[in-house]
Amino acid sequence: MSTAVTIDCLQYCNWSRPIFDQMVQGGVDAVHVTICYHEDFRETVSNIETWNRYFQVYSDRIVPGRTAQDIVDANKNGKTAIIFGFQNCSPILDDIGLIEICHQLGVRFMQLSYNNQSVLATGCYEQEDPGITRMGHQVIKEMNRVGLVIDMSHSAEKSTLQAIELSERPIAITHANPSAWHPTLRNKSDRVLIALAESGGMLGVSLYPHHLKDAGECTLDSFCRMVAETVEKMGIEHVGLGSDLCQDQPDSVVNWMRNGRWTRETDYGEGSVSASGFPSQPQWFGNNADFQNIRNGLESVGFTGAEADSIMGGNWLDFFQRSFGPGG
């Protein structure tokens, strides 16, 4: 598809009219939104019910995004298409049949794990990574069949490399950065990034401060030079945006993200006892109205307008076109 669009492939904001207005102001044509961290199937359906109310109340701003064409139409109509995704596999429980049901409900991305070991794969915070489980092998086949994109953003290295190898369709890492730029458990090695690119997959570069060199003090120039270096490694067609923006969320939400119901102790994830809440965003990217700053930064480090278009959304649009429908 040749339409110039802006797509952010991961957000989990405290959704409201002002945020949806900022999406339109920032020219954001599609956002992949998290509707599950630790929820089971019924709880996830409740989250979809909430989004269905949003689509009614804010119909002048947002529309459901289930196909690439939905995003093109949103662009033409000055709206933002909302794409559903899971940051964990908890909604499918141990029932492979729920994968197709979730796809029918509009879900287009599912991570095989969050930070911990799951029934499918290993999270990046585990000390041991045995790789994709027996059920994981079957789930990958089923996700390929129905057109539910495999996302390995929070998964450990062996599991991620195995998912890339096992999947017959390209996978995604929707929100992470190269660990060579900023070493952290959530960022990805060159080995993973190269394997992802060679398989036709996509990386969404993250703007979450814990994934950034110098955190909230990261400069736009540093970020965009990292993007340029990543493009050199992977090829420009494999790089897009996945901001991981958590705009207006209270700190209680990050506690839910990290701890869910799996522990009675407090896990601080990428934070610490002294900095347990959401980290401060860089001043050049604080909300959905700021995407033009990224485009300007990309052009300032040498990308052409057409190349910036690809990174800002064109690559994701092409990936969605290939990925959201049933497999052959």
pLDDT exceeds 80 at position 37:
yes
**E-strand spans in 78-126?**
80-86, 107-111
What per-residue confidence (pLDDT) applies to 162? 98
Q: Kindly state whether residue 214 falls inside one of the protein's structural domains.
A: yes
- The Cα–Cα gap between 124 and 116 comes to 7
**For residues 281 and 263, what is the distance between their CA atoms, to the nearest angstrom?**
28
How many domains are contained in the chain? 1
pLDDT of residue 2: 54
- What pLDDT score does 270 carry? 83
- Alpha-carbon span 313 to 289, nearest angstrom: 15
328 within domain boundaries: no
Task: Please report, as a single letter, which amino acid is at residue 277.
Answer: G
Any domain includes 79: yes
Looking at the chain, list the stretches that DSSP marks H as alpha helix, in order from N- to C-terminal side.
17-25, 41-57, 68-77, 98-104, 134-146, 157-166, 190-198, 220-234, 251-259, 291-300, 305-309, 315-323
pLDDT tens sequence across 206-263:
999 999 999 999 999 999 999 999 999 999 999 999 999 999 999 988 888 889 998 9
Give the DSSP letter string of 145-206: HHT-EEE-TTB-HHHHHHHHHH-SS--EE-S--BTTTS--TTSB-HHHHHHHHHTT-EEEE-
CATH number where 258 lies: 3.20.20.140
Residues 125-131 have a mean pLDDT of 97
Please state, for a pLDDT cut of 90, what percent of the chain lies above it.
Answer: 91
Instruction: Assess if residue 2 is contained within a domain.
Output: no
Residue 1 lies in a domain: no
Least confident of 13-22, 80-89, 262-271, 314-323: 262-271
* 307 has pLDDT over 80: yes
Question: pLDDT (tens digit, 9 = 90+) per residue, 241-255?
Answer: 999 999 999 998 888
Give per-residue pLDDT as tens, 64-120: 999 999 999 999 999 999 999 999 999 999 999 999 999 999 999 999 999 999 999
pLDDT value at residue 1: 54
User: What pLDDT sits at residue 257?
Assistant: 87
pLDDT at residue 328, as a whole number: 65
pLDDT at 3 over 80: no
Residue 199's domain spans which residues? 7-323
Q: Is the pLDDT of residue 275 over 90?
A: no
